[in-house]
Amino acid sequence: MITKESRYQRKINKIRKNSTIFGWMLPLRQGIQDRGDLSRFMREAVSEAKKAWLAGEVPVGAILIDQSNKIVARAHNRCILDNDPTAHAEILVIRQGAKVRSNYRLNGMTMVVTVEPCPMCMGAIINARLDTLVFGAFDEKSGAAGSVYNLSDDRRLNHQLTVIPGVMEKECRQLMQGFFRERR
């Protein structure tokens, strides 16, 4: 008998096997060349997630990086603070990036987020035309970048993007688990 956990773990392992990140050299634009660069950016996203935790929000943080590897936007979850169910870190960072760029299309940009985006956020990421999504922890309940859904590679949609999962996965997962353990 196959348990739910083992099916989920097999699915995650398949994503990891097919992902270029686990070869440590990435087929990305010039600039973000190795796992060290990705970890540096993920640490910035984790810093944002910790701000969310301190504010009583689910600790998810996101940053947006342009083609020259400059952080152009950063955000963390603010659903409770803003009384807005759409105030996820990913949505907020896209809004900030669009203002900075004065364009709703964010071609050439990379989002780094601590947790795999939900379907709402993946829809916004696809509509913003981001080139790359980097995330830390998988979301086995509502992840839309490979865990539960795989919107990033759905050929029926008008845009696909490169997804790099599992950067600082352990640290990102522990952050989420610690938050929910504290809340119980």
Helix/strand/coil for 123? helix
74's enclosing H/E stretch is strand 71-76
Nearest partner of 126 among 115, 139, 135, 117, judged by Cα: 117
The one catalytic residue among 44, 90, 116, 140: 90
What is the β-pairing status of strands 71-76 and 132-137?
A: unpaired
Q: What is the spatial distance between Cα 31 and Cα 69, in angstroms, rounded to a whole number?
A: 7
Active site residue 90: yes
Which residue type is seen at 24?
W
Sign of torsion over alpha carbons 121, 64, 16, 182: negative
Q: What is the spatial distance between Cα 57 and Cα 60, in angstroms, rounded to a whole number?
A: 8
Residues present in the chain in total: 184
Phi, psi of 97 (to 5 degrees): -60, -40
Distance from the Cα of residue 47 to its chain's centroid: 14
Active site residues: 90
